A and B are shown apart, each in its own frame.
Chain A
Amino acid sequence: MTALPAPHRRRPKYGRYLAWLVLAIILAIALLPIWVMVSTALTYPKDLFDSNVSLIPRGASFFNFARVLGIVSANASHAAGGSGASINFALALRNTVLYAGVIVIVQTLLSAMAAYPLARMRFFGRDFLFYLFISALMIPQIVLFIPNFILIRQLGWINTFAGLIAPTVLFSPFSVFFLRQFFLALPKEIEESARLDGASHFTIFWRLVLPISWPPIATLILLNSILMWNDFFWPFLVGRNSQTRLLTTVLQFFQTQTPNGVPDWTGLMAGSTLASIPVLILLVVLGRRVVQSIQFSGLK
């Protein structure tokens, strides 16, 4: 309230109240659906059809969470009014942790390794290689997905973890671009004194450059973790059996399993809540960092 420029301070007070009111309405619209999701997830399956629609859950039952995690048998779930489709969210949760974890860690490290010489070394074809790399940003996903699917199929990697991670684990044009911009801004003296001491390129990168580049790397890890946790299209094409489904694809699959003719809404919302809890925890724990990373992503 203090840093406002002069003309705004003189504005009448009710303008501020109006601004807060509009903001409050928009925040309510942003957040109420989350409440509906959690509240439906906590509703006992049969109660969903018996009662009038309400914002307040009919009692807080963790039954839906238990049955989507496979703790309750499919028959018991069916008897209670669920779809009875057998779904293993626990496995999908593990798969998603592995998928997002491996891709984010390996891809960030390899992107940093690629970005470093592109920013700090002199060699033939450097700038050509850089522009070639970032030109990949302009290609729509679907253009690459079809030939990549054909390749993964020829390799026999459909429904394998290797097939899921292969196209993204080694290279990300955005990560290379993002880190190169940061490495360019580092002072030249960093390497020069280390070179005089006889340090190798790898030592300089590992011992000097990576440690001082932690803030942008953390930003990148955060942004990519959110993207990979929520990734859908490629896993939907390649991970199509119960062993290789992720949270997003298992939710989509669960939705299509409707033995009763209607989707299992309480189960779906319990699964959706489970899939969202990790990112929401991330926001609670690292709120400021998440906000700043996203702000930063548009301003590079």
Chain B
Amino acid sequence: MSEPVVPPSPAAQVIQPRAASHARRPPPLGRDFGPAMLFILPALIGFAVFFLYPAIRAVIVSFTSWNLLNPPQNVGFHNYQHALTSPHFWHALWVTVLYVLYNIPIQTVLALLVAILIHRTTKSVLIRALILVPYLLSSVVAGLLWLWMLNPVLGILNAIIAHLGFGHQAFFGSPQQALASVAAVNIWQFLGFNAILIFAGLQSIPAEIYEAAAIDGAGELTLFGRITLPLLRPVLVFVLVTSIVGSFQIFATITVTTQGGPANATNVIVWYIYQNAFQFLKMGYATATSLILFVLLLFFTILQFRLLRGGESDL
């Protein structure tokens, strides 16, 4: 989740405000309407101009052919039709899904492992702070750093590989290895962050539950499978959904490492949309494909709400 798009969190059960205890009938718009609007106005302007308006405009632009220089031409559903029949679009989508599949399982399992190890061994904030260091760097810095370490000629990793007696690897330069290399960078960057979120979930499980189960003779694996995992469900769903939604939108790392290459091997969907919009100036086609991505990601957000609804009574 390299981009700051954060879907509502697991425990994000929206608390309803308490009804004020007023006997008198309030005025039609509520007694606080005027002052409330004054408080909200600046944010409302920001929302209307830079969120609501562009969202509507994206839909309108997606039905046009527009290169920003000439007036937009109405083309109906052509952009959507074109995307869904374009092998380039499907390739970009496939590369993205492949990237998510490289990234998410390894990252989540490792993060769970690290969280449990920290929880079992130490309360030290220092360890948790150190594991967070890669997360604090920019994706640009992380990308450049790994581009350097994986450099085919001078990179330290190739030096180690050569030392062990293996041949040089091209990594970002190889169509077979590039996507996995990008995934490795992101696993490195976000492992600690996800581990800390899961760790916070582990901390919230009361020790008495484990003690009670242990008195009943439950073994280590039973404790993990029957207590830890179910009680971690809200946090795990949150970590999974935010990582998946973030991975689908990977961009900065691609920009500094591969720019979609070699041979389109890392041409992920947001890079594809970016190129269409800002290099080929196909605003209509780019917004149409971005809206297809939106619908796809909406599925995961809805899934998150579904998975969390049943999960509240667990603790």
Chain A interface residues toward B at CB < 8 A: 3-8, 11, 16, 19-20, 22-23, 26-27, 29-31, 33-34, 36-37, 40, 48-49, 52-53, 55, 110-111, 113-114, 116-124, 126, 129, 132-134, 136-144, 146-151, 153, 166-171, 173-174, 176-177, 181, 184-185, 188, 200-202, 205, 226-227, 229-233, 236-237, 247-249, 251-252, 255, 263, 265, 268-269, 272, 275-276, 279-280, 282-283, 287-288, 290-291, 294-300
Contact = CB atoms under 8 A, between A and B. Distances in A.
Contact of A53 (B125, B156, B188): B156
A142 B141 contact: no
A191 to B, nearest CB: 10
B235 A52 contact: no
Interface of B: 3-12, 15, 17-20, 26, 28-33, 35-37, 39-40, 42-47, 49-55, 57-58, 61, 68, 110, 113-114, 117-118, 120-121, 123, 125-141, 144-149, 151, 154-156, 158-159, 188, 191-193, 196-197, 199-201, 203-204, 207, 210-211, 214-215, 218, 220, 223, 235, 238-239, 245, 248-249, 251-252, 255-256, 270, 273-274, 277-278, 283, 286-287, 290-291, 293-294, 297-298, 301
Contacts of A280: 133, 136
A170 B137 contact: no
A147 B151 CA distance: 37
A295 B199 contact: yes
List 3 A-B pairs, minimum CB-CB distance, nearest first: A170-B46, A171-B46, A123-B30
Contact of B114 (A26, A119, A147): A26
B146 A33 contact: yes
A13 to B, nearest CB: 12
Candidate in B138, B191, B204, B220 with the most chain A CB atoms within 10 angstroms: B138
A207 B298 CA distance: 40
B294 A140 contact: yes
16 contacts: A8-B120, A30-B192, A31-B133, A114-B44, A122-B19, A129-B44, A144-B50, A146-B61, A150-B57, A150-B61, A167-B46, A170-B43, A229-B138, A248-B141, A295-B196, A295-B199
B149 A122 contact: no
A123 to B, nearest CB: 3
Given A33-B146, A280-B133, A300-B12, A147 B17 contact: no
Given A121-B32, A147-B287, A247-B138, A114 B277 contact: no
A34 B196 contact: no
A27 B127 contact: yes
A205 B39 CA distance: 10
B255 A122 contact: no
Given A129-B44, A132-B47, A136-B47, 14 more contacts: A6-B214, A8-B120, A36-B145, A53-B156, A116-B39, A122-B32, A134-B8, A140-B290, A144-B54, A146-B273, A147-B54, A170-B46, A177-B8, A233-B251
B249 to A, nearest CB: 6
A239 B115 CA distance: 39
A111 B45 CA distance: 12
Candidate in B54, B201, B210 with the most chain A CB atoms within 10 angstroms: B54
A137 B297 CA distance: 11
B187 to A, nearest CB: 10
B47 A248 contact: no
A150 B293 CA distance: 20
B293 A171 contact: no
Contacts of A34: 133-134
B36 A117 contact: yes
A29 B291 CA distance: 38
Contacts of A123: 29-33, 36-37
Candidate in B132, B137, B146, B294 with the most chain A CB atoms within 10 angstroms: B137
A33 B132 CA distance: 13
B57 A33 contact: no
A123 B148 CA distance: 56
A248 to B, nearest CB: 4
Contact of B137 (A181, A263, A276, A288): A276
Nearest to A282: B136
Contacts of A205: 39
B39 A124 contact: no
Contact of B220 (A7, A36, A133, A185): A7
Given A230-B139, A300-B12, A142 B293 contact: yes
Given A6-B211, A231-B4, A147 B58 contact: yes
Nearest to B159: A53
Given A117-B35, A171-B47, A287 B126 contact: yes
A166 B54 CA distance: 13
B52 to A, nearest CB: 8
Contact of B15 (A22, A184, A200): A184
A146 B146 CA distance: 29
Contacts of B11: 299-300
Given A5-B214, A146-B290, A174-B6, A30 B130 contact: yes
B125 A113 contact: no
A282 B135 CA distance: 13
Contacts of A279: 136-137
A283 B7 contact: no
